Amino acid sequence: MKNNNSVTVLVFEYNLAAIFGLVLVSISILIFLFFLLVSAPGYLWLCLPIAFVIIYIRYAEKAPFKARIINKNNLTFSTDGIKYGDDYYPARQIEAVAIYLYSFENFEYRDGFVNGGRGESVYVRAHGDQNKISFRSQGNVLDFDFYIDDYARFCAVRQVANDWVAEGINVVLKQPFDDDFIVQEMNYYNTPSGL
């Protein structure tokens, strides 16, 4: 009996209008700073509001200059293939798949480094938006950045990838964190698994 594992994830796309707007704003700020520096260096404090605008653009959830936005089409991985919006790519037509699974939303972990001869740990909270898939179907290569909201979906993506391998599809799966580390850190921070 054939498994029919499936998981649906959100997909990101680049907002070209926001990127163009950021380029224009950046050029305008540089010109303003140059003229301010040349004509009235005593008024450089006027750059302070610019710093606040830059911080707002970086950290605001709904800023008008977000370069990456959620696409209206969802991406569904299943044992039978990949579906993106109305486009469907059957598993039998998929030649190769490369998946980079970074993390899921709110994955908390301790990142270690050496400081003055002793080990230090820094708290890190990862976002689920750094995951990527690239696949070739009938000679066409498609790339997507996608979002995973919990550990259950993270595991579901891996299970579908294992099913594709069982179907004979060449799958390359890369994870920066091994499974034992993920479970260890989830236990340490009491992260809900979504299972």
Q: Please check whether residue 194 lies inside any domain of the structure.
A: no
Handedness of CA 104, 67, 16, 176 (dihedral sign): negative
77 shares a domain with 55? no
> How far apart, in Å, do the first and last CA atoms of the chain sit?
24
Q: Please check whether residue 127 lies inside any domain of the structure.
A: yes
91 shares a domain with 64? no
49 shares a domain with 61? yes
153 shares a domain with 93? yes
Q: Please check whether residue 160 lies inside any domain of the structure.
A: yes
pTM above 0.85, yes or no: no
54 shares a domain with 91? no
CA 89 to chain centre: 22
92 shares a domain with 180? yes
DSSP secondary structure, 40-67, as one string? -GGGGGGGHHHHHHHHHHHH-TT-TT-S
Q: Please check whether residue 86 lies inside any domain of the structure.
A: yes
103 shares a domain with 127? yes
* Total structural domains within the chain: 2
Q: Please check whether residue 195 lies inside any domain of the structure.
A: no
117 shares a domain with 57? no
- CATH number of the structural domain spanning residue 81: 2.30.29
pLDDT at residue 1, rounded to an integer: 44
Q: Which of 104, 191, 84, 85 is nearest to 147 (CA)?
A: 104
pLDDT at residue 151, rounded to an integer: 94
Q: Please check whether residue 163 lies inside any domain of the structure.
A: yes
pLDDT at residue 65, rounded to an integer: 64
Q: Please check whether residue 1 lies inside any domain of the structure.
A: no
177 shares a domain with 138? yes
Alpha-carbon dihedral of residues 39, 44, 46, 51, nearest 10 degrees?
A: 130
Q: Which of 154, 157, 103, 92 is nearest to 125 (CA)?
A: 103
Which residues of 42-154 form beta strands (DSSP E)?
68-70, 75-78, 81-84, 87-90, 94-100, 107-115, 118-126, 131-137, 140-147
pLDDT at residue 191, rounded to an integer: 87
What value, to the nearest 5°, has the Cα angle with vertex 141 and ends 101 and 159? 35
Task: Domain of residue 173: give its range.
Answer: 6-12+70-189
pLDDT at residue 49, rounded to an integer: 80
Alpha-carbon dihedral of residues 33, 35, 36, 38, nearest 10 degrees?
A: 120
160 shares a domain with 118? yes
pLDDT at residue 62, rounded to an integer: 64
Strand partners, 155: none
Q: Please check whether residue 171 lies inside any domain of the structure.
A: yes
Chunk the chain into consecutive blocks of 10 residues (it has 195) and report each block's average pLDDT, rounded to whole numbers: 81 84 82 83 76 74 71 94 96 96 93 73 89 96 95 95 95 94 92 80
167 shares a domain with 97? yes
18 shares a domain with 79? no
